[in-house]
Amino acid sequence: MKFSPVYLFAVVCIALVAVGAVLLYPSATNDRATPDGGTAVVAPAADTASAPQPAPEPVLPPGVQIRFVDATAAAGIRFDHFDGRTDMEYLMDSTGPGAAWIDYDQDGLLDLFLVQGGPFAPPYPPQTLTSKLYRNLGGGRFEDVTAAAGVGHVGCGQGATVGDYDNDGFPDLFVTCYGKPNVLYHNVPDGRGGRRFEDVTARAGMADHPDWKARSNWSTSATFLDYDNDGKLDLFVCSYVKVDLPHYPECISNRTKRRGPCPPSRFEGTKCVLYRNNGDGTFTDATHAAGVDSPNAKGLGVVALDLDDDGLVDLFVANDGVPNFLFRNLGGGKFEAFGPACGCLVNLVGTPQAYMGIAAGDLDGDGRPDLFVTAFAGETSSFFRNLGRCLFLDVTQGTGLGPPCWNRLKFGTCALDIDRDGSLDLVVANGHIARYIDADGDPTNTFRQLPQLFLNDGRGHFREFSKQAGPAFQKTYVGRALAQADYDNDGRTDLYLADSGGSAVLMHNETTTPNNWVRLELRGTKSNRDAIGAKVTFHVGGRKLVRHREGGGSYLSAHDPRLLVGLGSATAADKVEIRWPSGLVQQVGPLAGGRGYLVTEGQDKVEPRP
């Protein structure tokens, strides 16, 4: 591939900026990255001389009162996650669980699927534990329909993703696992006018994989996407590390002398898997043929969207302790793996971090989707600003996202417009992986941790408002998955936070704001029905708000597929321009604020939605 002189000059500039940042960027050295034996995963001791200091407490915008409350019990959700933890402290104990929002019965209300873990060794739980599906009844209430829906998966579940892979109008479900095959659930009629799921893993060709002969399957995040643009959703699955359970290493903390989960540096990497949809209910492993078989994957997060604005859906994979992957879609079913010069594989000083979750979106208002990627304690999460043409720059230290995250172990993350001012804000789920970390005596670095909420000023600069975010943000969790959805259709995005080894956490958004909103549901016809890969531009009072219909994102999670956009003080979106994955550009509008709409590819009529 040939690059223009301008492109090459930009690469050189990024390199020079990285060199200059060495003196400014905080050290990320910790026991977790130590390759020698006998060292457990722990965060570094606090270094008050070099660790970033928190900023003064900010003031909320006029008329805005952020409030998230724990609505789990009131909603009727009863779920306790089993993390499989033993005295051995396996690394597998610490990675789950995941969660997925899915309107499986297509009644306009988002239902909730919760992934259950399982034991890796004795002692075993007294009863069989299963994943759960909660049907949204409306009015803030849910009911457990796991048995009737046929999704009571038993095993060491990790994450989940959602997509209508057969374009029949009903979303299907994919569950990732450790130690056993992943599960593909096909959404089918239940014979009584409702819907249920059928396990089609074997029929689809996913019950086995050549790589699993030499290692146990350990899949984490996954996403549906139409990488070859044939109108059918394919599937990309992240793989983590190779584990030989009978010969699992023993890792002891240098400070506490306790056994803890070994760092990923003690294990070999793997390869992620790309399944091509054959259109007949089966899938073919296209990993090598498509060019995404990069070795030494330690993948934890993935997102699929058009990062270079060429109309083709690209892939970004967050790796744990090794460089991330950026796969640029070249068309014709082929990807190109970018090297470090692209700017988003390592941090600003060229160091791979323990990256976990991903929030993708236009965070600085320039119309290009940026990447916010969470990382380990003693590391800052990275805000990779999109410069165009798959060039990125780590601008974390100038955006207000570095110091507040320093001592947090950060997993799931979401980009959403909390105050509906038209700019994407950020939420992060935090929680350590080492239970003994509390014995270190550092009150800023604990096992259970507070989640964080950051408001965007519209130019990609953030201030933390966690203390002002309501009672749900004043509780500590062992945070993992973080999935967003407007489950009660009130124009405010709610959150589900997965508490590893704990109970379900449904955060209902009760924020008050004078700002308006509009919600858009996309339905592809020539494109894949889910419209994954679409670019949507909302024209609002002279502003252009760009959003992307992405696949994947966060960590082990699936979000609400609809786009909820804040309009600020405007009463309507004057015009909405949609570039579908098929290449069709369609315009609709004006769309009055305060409600949702369905736009079908190629149809002028816009249907109102709740």
The candidate with the shortest Cα–Cα distance to 462, out of 474, 477, 452, is 452
Instruction: Give the structural domain span for 561.
Output: 517-609
- Bridge-partner residues for 539, per DSSP? 544, 575
pLDDT digits (tens, 9 = 90+) for 369-391: 999 999 999 999 999 999 999 99
24 pLDDT above the threshold of 50: no
Q: Given pLDDT bands bounded at 50, 70 and 90, which one contains residue 52? A: low
65 pLDDT above the threshold of 90: yes
Does residue 580 share a domain with residue 444? Answer: no
Q: How many CB atoms lie within 10 A of CB 76?
A: 15
Whole-number average pLDDT of the chain = 91
C-alpha Rg value of the chain to the nearest Å:
22
Q: Does the residue 44 lie in any domain?
A: no
The stretch 235-244 carries a mean pLDDT of 96
Domain end, chosen from 457, 490, 516, is at 516
The candidate with the shortest Cα–Cα distance to 556, out of 274, 201, 302, is 302
189 pLDDT above the threshold of 90: yes
Output 234 or 38, whichever has higher pLDDT.
234
Does residue 460 share a domain with residue 365? Answer: yes
Does residue 532 share a domain with residue 482? Answer: no
Cβ-count burial of 459 within 10 angstroms (0-12 exposed, 13-18 middle, 19+ buried)? Answer: exposed
pLDDT at res. 443: 79
* pTM, 2 dp: 0.92
Q: What single-letter amino acid sits at 182?
A: N
Residue carrying structure tokens 């940026």:
370
Domain end, chosen from 516, 542, 577, is at 516
> Residue 73 belongs to what H/E stretch?
helix 72-75
Q: Given pLDDT bands bounded at 50, 70 and 90, which one contains residue 610? A: confident
Question: Rounded to an integer, what is the distance from CA 160 to the centroid of its chain?
Answer: 10
231 sits in the region (left: phi over 0; alpha: psi -120 to 50; else beta) called left
pLDDT at res. 11: 44
Total domains present in the chain: 2
Does residue 510 share a domain with residue 596? Answer: no
Does residue 552 share a domain with residue 435? Answer: no
The stretch 38-64 carries a mean pLDDT of 59
579 pLDDT above the threshold of 90: yes
The stretch 569-593 carries a mean pLDDT of 98
pLDDT at res. 88: 60
Q: Could you tell me the CATH number of the domain that includes residue 254?
A: 2.130.10.10
pLDDT digits (tens, 9 = 90+) for 438-475: 877 777 789 999 999 999 999 999 999 999 999 999 99
Q: Given pLDDT bands bounded at 50, 70 and 90, which one contains residue 253? A: confident
Compute φ and ψ for 354, nearest 5 degrees: -85, 80
Structure tokens at 135: 């049907």
Does residue 553 share a domain with residue 500? Answer: no
Q: Given pLDDT bands bounded at 50, 70 and 90, which one contains residue 122? A: low
Q: Could you tell me the CATH number of the domain that includes residue 525?
A: 2.60.40
pLDDT digits (tens, 9 = 90+) for 318-364: 999 999 999 999 999 999 999 999 999 999 999 999 999 999 999 99
The candidate with the shortest Cα–Cα distance to 365, out of 460, 507, 244, is 460
pLDDT digits (tens, 9 = 90+) for 141-176: 999 999 999 999 888 899 999 999 999 999 999 999
d(CA 417, CA 256): 42
Does residue 490 share a domain with residue 594? Answer: no
Does residue 576 share a domain with residue 464? Answer: no
Q: Given pLDDT bands bounded at 50, 70 and 90, which one contains residue 3? A: very low
The candidate with the shortest Cα–Cα distance to 390, out of 348, 345, 350, 351, is 345
Does residue 580 share a domain with residue 450? Answer: no
pLDDT digits (tens, 9 = 90+) for 498-523: 999 999 999 999 999 999 999 999 99
The stretch 515-541 carries a mean pLDDT of 99
Domain end, chosen from 457, 483, 516, is at 516
pLDDT at res. 125: 72
Residue burial 492-516, b: 16+ Cβ < 10 Å; e: rest: bbbbbbbbbbbebbbbbbbbebebb
**Which stretches of 326-369 are DSSP H helices?**
none
d(CA 238, CA 298): 8
The candidate with the shortest Cα–Cα distance to 298, out of 187, 398, 218, is 218
Output 301 or 50, whichever has higher pLDDT.
301
Cβ atoms of 263 and 42 within 8 Å: the answer is no
Does residue 529 share a domain with residue 451? Answer: no
pLDDT at res. 47: 41
pLDDT digits (tens, 9 = 90+) for 10-21: 444 444 444 444
pLDDT digits (tens, 9 = 90+) for 351-370: 999 999 999 999 999 999 99
Q: Given pLDDT bands bounded at 50, 70 and 90, which one contains residue 437? A: confident
Q: Does the residue 573 lie in any domain?
A: yes
The stretch 26-39 carries a mean pLDDT of 32
134 pLDDT above the threshold of 80: yes
588 pLDDT above the threshold of 50: yes
Between 48-57, 204-213, 464-473, 517-526, the lowest mean confidence (pLDDT) is in 48-57
The stretch 59-74 carries a mean pLDDT of 97
- Bridge-partner residues for 595, per DSSP? 518
Counting every residue, how long is the chain?
Answer: 610
2 pLDDT above the threshold of 90: no
Query: pLDDT above 70 covers what percent of the chain?
Result: 90
State how beta strands 157-163 and 172-177 pair.
Answer: antiparallel
d(CA 292, CA 327): 7
36 pLDDT above the threshold of 60: no
